Amino acid sequence: MQLFEKMEKFIKEIELFIQYGVQESERQDALKFLQRYKNDALALQLMRVFYSSLPETHEEAITRISLLQKKEDIFLLGLSTARHSYLYFATEQKALLLGEYGYEIVEPEALALFGYPDIQAFFEKYPALISCVEYEPVGVTGTMFCPVCSAAVGEHHLLGCPVEVCPWCDGQFSRCGCRFEKLGVEILEDEEELEELERVLEEKGRVPYCKEQCPSYPSGTDE
């Protein structure tokens, strides 16, 4: 099935789940929230899993999706309703509930993938979802991730990503001459030189990805 058809199907399913699962007073908000993410396969996947397994006694609408961390194409997301919050793993193919936020995490091993040895370490870093950035739907700005290496806003690009900005000359790091100059070589040829480059680059302070670096970011006053 084409992605587009699949997303259309998901939207219909989620609308049905909302119709039958969410209390009437929150139904309109739930549908409005769904509309906001209608072009985002990952968010649809997440909402479908949430609403299809909604605890019967809760009947709540999703009010916010928070982005905690991202590793390759796996996202660690928080999902909030008016009175509860949950932690999820999600990709465009699958979403998995890890547990109710702040309480029990069903699969603590999953957090190890993101570098947290245990639940305590994790909740120390993320005590509350509200302090995390909101997960923005793709297609609205489409710039929350580097279009080339998909680093998230605030993260470092993969070394060699053409979008990375040079911290020495503000040029395009993969094109300017700074890397040769800093290492005192004509060309970069081996692993060791690359490691050395990464070291001096980090020492100087790499420029993390931000929306303004995205070529399609609307510049000027259109926001």
Closest-CA residue to 43 (of 8, 100, 91):
91
Which DSSP state fits 193?
Answer: H
* Burial grade of 87 (CB within 10 A; 0-12, 13-18, 19 or more): buried
Q: How far is the CB of 150 from Zn ion (least distance, A)?
A: 7
Element (H, E) at 125: helix 119-125
Which member of 148, 183, 207, 210 binds Zn ion (CB under 5 A)?
Answer: 148
Q: Of 84-92, 98-106, 117-125, 139-147, which segment contacts Zn ion by CB under 5 A?
A: 139-147
Q: How far is the CB of 45 from Zn ion (least distance, A)?
A: 24
Residues 70, 47: Cα–Cα separation, whole Å: 18
Q: How far is the CB of 94 from Zn ion (least distance, A)?
A: 25
Residue 171 binding Zn ion, by CB under 5 A = yes
Residue 180 binding Zn ion, by CB under 5 A = no
Residue 197 binding Zn ion, by CB under 5 A = no
Residues 188, 204: Cα–Cα separation, whole Å: 19
DSSP 4-53: HHHHHHHHHHHHHHHHHHS-HHHHHHHHHHHHHTTT-HHHHHHHHHHHHT
Instruction: Please identify, using beta-carbon distances, which residue of 105 and 163 lies nearer to Zn ion.
Output: 163
Instruction: Please identify, using beta-carbon distances, which residue of 123 and 168 lies nearer to Zn ion.
Output: 168
Q: How far is the CB of 49 from Zn ion (least distance, A)?
A: 29
Residues 184, 134: Cα–Cα separation, whole Å: 43
Q: How far is the CB of 48 from Zn ion (least distance, A)?
A: 30
| Residue 11 and residue 44 in contact, taking contact as beta carbons nearer than 8 Å | yes
Residue 200 binding Zn ion, by CB under 5 A = no
Which member of 11, 129, 146, 214 binds Zn ion (CB under 5 A)?
Answer: 146
Q: What strands lie across the sheet with 95-100, from one edge to the other?
A: 95-100, 85-90, 74-80, 64-71, 133-134
Q: How far is the CB of 176 from Zn ion (least distance, A)?
A: 3
Which member of 31, 152, 159, 176 binds Zn ion (CB under 5 A)?
Answer: 176
Instruction: Please identify, using beta-carbon distances, which residue of 105 and 146 lies nearer to Zn ion.
Output: 146
Residue 54 binding Zn ion, by CB under 5 A = no
Residue 201 binding Zn ion, by CB under 5 A = no
